Each structure stands twice: as structure tokens, then as C-alpha cells.
Structure 1
Amino acid sequence: MSEKDRPTSETQDLVGASIGHCADTNELLINILSRGTAERLLPLSQERVRVGVIGGGAWGTALARHCAHMRHDTLLWAREPEVVAGVNDPAVKENTTYLKGFKLPEALRATGDLDAVVAHGQLLLMVVPTPFVASTMGAIRDKLRPEQILVSCTKGIVNDTLETVNQILMRVLPPALHERLAFLSGPSFAAEVAAGLPTVVTVAAVDDMVAARAQYLLSTPRFRCYRTTDVQGVELGGALKNVLAIACGINDGLGFGCNGRAALITRGLSEMTRLAVALGAHPLTMGGLAGMGDLVLTCTGELSRNRTVGLRIGKGEKLADIVKGMTAVAEGVLTSRSAHALAQRLGVEAPIIEGIYRVIHEDADPVAVVTEVMSRDLRAEVDPAILQAAARAPAANGHF
């Protein structure tokens, strides 16, 4: 591996905490998956399109960087003037607010004009926080074109309405655009994608051809996309895992060890699956990248904002103080309320989600909540309802 292929020292500082312990494995993966800078950055296809990225946070900037490196003509929209200025200034070429330490390609441009990004993009990536999806997309609904593909890269559930991002978009956007929607999710820290480290995600769309088109345009030897038609499952996996990541952080902050963390991940996956199936998702989706994959990453990775929130709660800090000092959104704090409400509405048993809701929103003692969850009535491990759903479900459209 040549020096030009290696991450910069600044990049290594940002991602080293999560991958430093497996440097040999990472080196091997890089050598297997890529044989030089040009090859690893180019798409698996040679087609170039115009890409508009709506949202200049860490994830939006990482995806814009990825697309620009693929030689797509990429324009990034950011709400903050300082982000736009930093991306466009040849002497800076960096989003120092949300993704510090990663130089951006010279060809990547940014703007504060949302209409300009919509007009530019053949492929649009929407990367705004869940609470702003309706207002942002409502502002451009009449500017969108039927031939465009809109890929949502946002994970979350709205507290007031309990809508997923897909449901928001179906409500806000004209019906003619509904079949052009896709949803990208899976285990993907922004800093690692920006560093060019191997990442695998999934793209969901009701129309498999739309999912395949987005998959085709976004995949490289370092960023592999699978696809599925289970939009509901992919969305719910990406949203619900954030709540479980807070639980795992609390476990670690309390010093409850690896056994406890493994139990939370496994039983948390059961709760995610019960909720997802009750809402119409395919049960196998939760065993894929958008479910188990994203859950494991977010519950164990040092770069996880949601795990960090839980870790600090477990060490005795107050949530208000934690959130006040964060520049990026920890979606699990918001989603804990909507996930709890969904479980209540559907009559789905979700003791871990309920416990996190109580810790975050009712100031319950984490140790007492753990004791209550561990003292529940004994039962079979696999919920019979999940077995029945798996038996009834059609073959999954995707790779598991």
C-alpha cells in the first residue's frame, strides 16, 4: 500500500479509536478491496451523473466527498454560511464545523441555495435531521423532477406523528415522485466513510429498479451497496438501533461489562424485530445491514454519538448537560420517545426501549431499570409471533 493511499494523520486521529485495535485486519481489507487510489475511488460503473446533497452535516459532507471522489459532479447544500464558505474556499476545502480533518476534493462545491442543488442533481441525497425533513422537502416539492432519484440517508422517527422518513416524504411529496424514493442505511460512521475505509450499506426502494440505479451509482470497491425492497424494515432498523446504542453506552458507563452489552444487543435486536414486524417489515431485514449490522456498530463503536450519550449518563452526567455540548445530533434521544410510543400503540413488548425512555425522559435510575428488566418473568427466547411472521413472509428481496 503506497503512502498516497493511506489516511492522513488527522484522519487517523479521528478514526483511530475505533479501528486502531485491528490495524492489521484493516490493512488486509484495504489491500484486498482496493489496489490504488484511483481504482478505489472510482465507481464500479464508469457513468458520471450530477449529484445534489441536501444537508451539510458530518454524514452529508462524507457522502458528498465520496460522490465527488467518484467523479460525479457534486453540489452540497448547507444551511450554515460558514460550512459553505469552508467547502468553497480553495485555501480551506474542509467542513471544519462537522467533519474536521478531512480535506475535500477541489471539484466539490457548496451552496446555501436549496433550489440550486435540486436543479443540479440527477441523483439527490437527502441528509437532514429527522425533525427538519418535512419543512426542507416541503420547500422544494414543486422543484423536484420525475426523472430524479431521491435517496434519503436520514434515520429517525418523528415524535409528534410517529412517522418514519418514508411516511413523511409520502405525505409531503407529490404522488408522481413516490416511486423515485430510495433509502440508504447500514453500519456507516461518517468519519470512516470520509477516510475511505471499507463500508457496506443497503439501499431500499419499493421499485427494485430505483434501488438498483442508486446502488449502481454509489458503489465503489470501498463503499459497497446491497439493495432490498423492504423500505419499512430498513428505515426502522436505522432508527431503532440508536435507542439500543444509548442502552449499551449506559451499560458500559456503569461498568456492567461485555456480557451485559452482548445481552443488550441481542435482546435489543429482538425488540427491534418485534416492532418492525408489527409495522409490516420482513423479519429477515433485521438480521441484515440495516438491522444487526447498524446495531452492532452503533452499540460498540467509539465514534457512536448515541453510545457516547449513554456512556456519559451511566457515569452520572445529566442529559441536558450532555446534549448542550454536542455539535451533532444524537438521534436516539429523540427516537427513544417515538419508539416507546410505537411499542405502546402496537402492544409490542419492548422492555429495553421502555427502560431507556424512563431513564432519558423520566430521570429513572439506570441501575434500578436494569434490575427491573433482569427480574421480569422467565420465558422462551424466541417470540412465537416472530416465528409465525417468518413462516408467512415471502422470500426476502435482498441478500442475507
Structure 2
Amino acid sequence: MAGSAPLSRGLRAGQAWFHRLDDGRLQCDLCPRDCKLKEGQHGACLIRERHGDAIELTSWGRSSGFCVDPIEKKPLNHFYPGSRVLSFGTAGCNLACKFCQNWDISHSKELDRLQDQANPQQLARLAGELGCHSVAFTYNDPVIFAEYALDVADACHAQGIQTVAVTAGYINPGPRQLFYAAMDAANIDLKGFSEAFYKQYCGARLAPVLDTLAYVHHETACWLEITTLLIPQANDNPDELRQLCQWIARELGPEVPLHFTAFHPDYRLTDRCSTPASTLELAQQIGHDCGLHYVYTGNVHTRDGGTTHCPGCHSVVIERCGYSITAYQLDEHGHCLACGTALPGRFKPYTGCFGNRRIPLRVHP
């Protein structure tokens, strides 16, 4: 399957995420942007394009790169801690974040950035050979290459490999059901907690993301963690952070892990300073004050930023330095060795951690 372009017409098992309008255009039904396309036009995501009577995924089987990462980098702190994950993405995105940290990939209009090619069976086989417990769809949003992600997920599950989605959660209810049914874990960006922020900084809406978060947590078996990138003078207001944390505690519950990560100037938002550690520490404290059990910080070093505490006896059960685990006090089922309290998440017998390494790969058809 690898080597042709496009490698797939983007139609999966008869599932068509588009419909014809009265004026002859085709409306893409994958995400809330509802792009309406004439012949030859592509959607806002850049990789879904109309050809004849169908909207095709032009990036199936093509990637902007592959890398072996620690699972904590996704970030996922309660999903097989210490394990390694095979990460890859494609090109394009269905949001327009001014602060995008991967803008050269997610906002690329050039499919020649997709240099590596691999079919789903190749990826599943490679993950197993590299000792990866999971494969992550990341770098850009996997929602827009859902057909490819789902095909890879099928191949991975056939080999006993887990799947991870790192996504903004901007997807319509119909495809959302199929997409998250194939994911074992997801880290979903909650980029801010106001419609004004989403409109001004992301070109999107907040409400569909909240709907996705609630759906994934309550209606699927997919393990969920949440990330909020804190941007100075944009979404770091303590009152807004308190509202965000209160919503998570009320609508999802206190056991859903929340990661506050630091912004650095990039793309179209270079007029802001990097997020200071003090802002992350304040956000973490707000999360704890709102009753959340697991609030982490990332991208800069803070005291206890990556430490997991037992909610029962408050002892340290996982101590991290960056992406490395320096102490691990859970049994194979995720119970605290001191008091027996079960931590939420997915766990297996701990055999050490992959650590802070990052191994870029080239995959050849």
C-alpha cells in the first residue's frame, strides 16, 4: 500500500464523513468546521480534499516523521508509566492556533513534508520490534487523518499494541464515536476556558471540546488525561484557571489527570514571554484547591511538577525528573505499596523507564 499518492481515498468501511449540499458542494462532517468544498478544494485542515463525489484523505500512509518517545512526553502519567511509545503524525490541522509549537507541520500546505511512508501493518510490526507498548498519533491532530489512524489502530491491536491520541478533541459526534472506540488513551488539549480565547487564538469554539472531554470520559474505555498550555496574558488568569479546574472536578471527576505546561514564543505569538515557573505552580495549586487529585506541570522544572501522590496516604508513588522515573511505589495493578489504594489509570508490572531519550526514525516502504 505504501508508495502511491494518495494511498487511500479516505473512505473507511463505507463510512462517509461528508454529504452533498443543494448547491452541489460537499460538506465535510468530520469536525465542527463543516468545510464546504467545490471540486479540487481542500478543507481548513489542508489534507482532506474533494475529488468528484467524495472527500479524500490525501495523507493516508504518509508521515512527517517517526520517533520513539517516553509515554510521559505525550504527556500521559497514568498510562503504563515508564513505557516507550512510537510517535508519528502527518501534516495539517483543523485548528488555527496562533501559538502552535509544531506549526511547520500542522500548518504546512506542502505534502512533500510527508517524507516517510508506512502502511498500518508496517507500523504495528515496527512498534513491536522496538519494544513500544503503544503507538501515538501526535505532532498534528489525528482527528483530521482519522481513517489512517483507525487503520493503524486495527493493525496495532491485532499485535497487542496500544494506541494513543494526542488531540485537541475538535471532532463531530458521529466520527467521534468511531475514533475514540479505537483509542486506548488520549491526551486532549483544553486550550483555555472561554469562547473568546478559542475564537481569538485558535479559530475554533470551546463547546465542542468540552463535549468531547465529557464523551471520552463517560462513554468510552479510553483513558483520558488533559493538557492546558498556559500563555501569559491570554489564558493564565487565575479566575479562568479556577473555572477550568472546577469544571473538570464537577463534570469529569477529581481523578482525571491535568497537565499545565509552559508556553514558549512561536509561530504568530512571539510577542509574549515564556511562561514562568511561578505561573505553573500557581495553576497546580489552584487545581489541588479545586479538589483535583493529579495536577502536573511540564516544559519547565518545578518542584513536584511530575510527582504522583497517593490520594489515600499522600505518599509519593511515582517520582519523576523530567520524563524519567526516579522512584516507583506501585504494584503491577497500580495499587500504592504503602496503603493499597488503587490509582486511576492503566498499569502493568514495572520494569524500568525509557527515560528522557528521544529516538528519531526513518521508515521505508
Q: What is the TM-score of this pair, normalised by structure 1? A: 0.26
- More strand per residue: 1 or 2? 2
Q: What is the TM-score of this pair, normalised by structure 2? A: 0.27
- More helix per residue: 1 or 2? 1
